[in-house]
Amino acid sequence: MRPSRTNVEGTAALLEACRKYGKRMHHVSTDEVFGDLPLGSSERFGEGSPYRPGTPYSSTKASSDMLVRAWFRTYGVPVTISNCSNNYGPYQHVEKFILRQVTNVLCGIRPKLYGDGRNVRDWIHAEDHSSAVWAILTRGVPGETYLVGADGERDNITVMRDILRAMGEADDAFDWVRDRPGHDRRCAIDSSKLRRELGWRPAHTDFDCRKGGRSSTWGDRPFHSVMLSSKGNRPSALQA
């Protein structure tokens, strides 16, 4: 099982190397370790939220978080952890939700949407995630965990329709497919600790891709042009 090798064995190897050579380590994790939240609630994940991973992948990420804390407590390795929500931005891999829809449209393939489309994700621009990690690396307290989010909650059907409109397609120009196993219903991050203690703030707070060049998030180009800025994101490489 590849995730267990990467997330569990790989994390243990890095921690042991940091212990051996006296290095600082920051561990980038995911909000998936907390499971999901009810639709329509105001509840958000915080640093004290219980771990309830719902998939084999998120279980291995939860395991890696536990290893990081164990190396800190047992060996005093200077570590920090961040749990982040869904990322978007230039150079993202085409397997990810937004890029998958964009490249499908460009290839003349109808996008597909899981389940009822009401699953909610808390979106954050990759540049904001990076700046948060840098803040934690430079100002964070060893042994502490920080949650990273930009208050960007959107359900999948809204994101799908925004992409279709931005690319000149009809709202219903996609196909429904059966929901995937273990699909978390809603994820939402409370990043108040990171903002309060380290002074971090997201720079990209306008997620509306329909605004194209008028949005600070997408710059002065159409959003799908920005999202396809990587040579590895050529539409011809995409399979349905």
32 noted as active-site residue: yes
Considering 31, 36, 162, 190, which one is annotated as catalytic? 31
pLDDT for residue 231 is more than 60: no
- The full set of domain ranges for the chain reads 2-237
Tens of pLDDT, residue by residue over 14-44, are: 999 999 999 999 999 999 999 999 999 999 9
pLDDT the model gives residue 207: 73
Give the mean pLDDT of the chain.
89
Tens of pLDDT, residue by residue over 52-81, are: 999 999 999 999 999 999 999 999 999 999
pLDDT the model gives residue 146: 98
Burial of 163 (0-12, 13-18, 19+ CB in 10 A): buried
Considering 32, 36, 184, 190, which one is annotated as catalytic? 32
Which fold would CATH assign to domain 2-237?
Answer: Rossmann fold (3.40.50)
Considering 51, 57, 91, 114, which one is annotated as catalytic? 57
197 noted as active-site residue: no
Query: pLDDT higher for 132 or 219?
Result: 132
